[in-house]
Amino acid sequence: MTNNKQDIIDRFTSKGVFPHQMAFTLLIPLRNIFLSPKKLIKRMNLAPSHQVLEIGPGPGYFSLQVAKFLTQGKIVLADIQQEMLDYAKKRLGKSNISNTEYYLCNGEKLDFSDESFDRIFMVTVIGEVENKGAYIREFYRLLRADGILSISELAGDPDKMTPQELMALTAKAGFVLGEMFGNQRNYTINFIKTKLL
Ligand SMILES: C[S@@+](CC[C@H](N)C(=O)[O-])C[C@H]1O[C@@H](n2cnc3c(N)ncnc32)[C@H](O)[C@@H]1O
């Protein structure tokens, strides 16, 4: 990847990993019209004690409010770009948030113990992930029984997946469909890791 302006713009407008050089565009408050951090916290049915993993936080638009909500819990921000993690760390640090960890993903495995999280969430990320099946299986391993994988997709994202595509993908890994919010253009779907009988 280069720092050439045209190259950055091309990557911004096409499929693939979102260029970190454009991270500032993810912090525009107008985004709240489609999905606000407050709304997402409600949709995920988050509790203050939860252990949360966010995949692809970018500069941390949602992470900040989630971290604040988790008064007895913790959020791990896991991104494939170190620059995004640095940006998020700087932002959250300014608000004196300390219940956070930052994890650089390799795009395949996530080096955490089985059943370490109550919630895993991602907003406009899944379409960028190369090996989606392997990631979803990792999420299943990492969630506690009854834990929720919450996936949000928003209009305008060139990598956006349809609810139907996500349902097929997650069902293969053993997830059960939970609540759905929004519409085909902007939505959140919760997938549940059910208890094994
Ligand atoms: C469009 S941005 C969304 C950022 C944030 N979720 C938001 O809505 O503001 C996508 C993010 O996913 C990250 N990403 C892409 N592929 C990834 C992967 N395989 N694992 C972890 N993060 C990934 C990118 O680096 C980028 O920060």
Q: What is the pLDDT of residues 143-165, one digit of tens each?
A: 999 999 999 999 989 999 999 99
Q: 166: Cβ below 6 Å to ligand 1?
A: no
Record the pTM: 0.96
Tell me which residue has its CA closest to atom 16 in ligand 1. Answer: 129
Q: What is the pLDDT of residue 13?
A: 84
Q: 73: Cβ below 6 Å to ligand 1?
A: no
Q: 84: Cβ below 6 Å to ligand 1?
A: yes
**Looking at ligand 1, which atom is closest to the CA of residue 159?**
1
Residue with tokens 């089985």: 114
Q: Do 87 and 20 contact (CB within 8 A), yes or no?
A: yes
The arithmetic mean of pLDDT across residues 75-98, rounded, is 96
Q: Place 3 in a pLDDT band, splitting at 50, 70 and 90.
A: confident
CB atoms inside a 10 Å sphere around CB 36: 15
pLDDT surpasses 60 at 113: yes
The topology under which CATH files domain 48-192 is Rossmann fold (3.40.50)
Q: 151: Cβ below 6 Å to ligand 1?
A: no
Expressed in angstroms and rounded, the spacing between residue 72 Cα and the centre of ligand 1 is: 26
Expressed in angstroms and rounded, the spacing between residue 77 Cα and the centre of ligand 1 is: 10
Q: How far is CA 140 from CA 92, 108, 153, in A?
A: 28, 14, 20
